[in-house]
Amino acid sequence: LQSRGCISKKNGEGMYKHGENLKLLDEGSIFIADSVVIGKDVTIYERNRIEGNTVIGDGAVILPGNYIVDTVIGRNTTFNQSQSEGASVGDGVYVGPFARLRPGAKILDGAKIGNFVEIKNATVGEGTKVSHLAYVGDADLGGGCNIGCGAIFVNYDGKSKHRTTVGDNCFIGSNCNIIAPVTIENNSYIVAGTTVTDRVLEDDFVIGRVRAERKPGRAHKYLKHFINPKE
How many angstroms separate the CA atoms of 212 and 141, rounded?
A: 32
| Of the candidates 210, 188, 192, 217, the residue with the CA atom closest to the CA atom of residue 200 | 188
Catalytic one among 132, 162, 220, 225? Answer: 132
In eight-state DSSP terms, residue 127 is T
How many angstroms separate the CA atoms of 166 and 42, rounded?
A: 34
| Omega cis (within 30) before 181 | yes
Active site annotation includes 225: no
* Residues in a beta bridge with 187: none
In eight-state DSSP terms, residue 220 is H
Cβ atoms of residues 24 and 41 within 8 Å = no
| Of the candidates 59, 69, 134, the residue with the CA atom closest to the CA atom of residue 92 | 59
| Omega cis (within 30) before 216 | no
| Of the candidates 145, 157, 154, 148, the residue with the CA atom closest to the CA atom of residue 193 | 148
How many angstroms separate the CA atoms of 114 and 70, rounded?
A: 21
User: Active-site residue numbers?
Assistant: 132
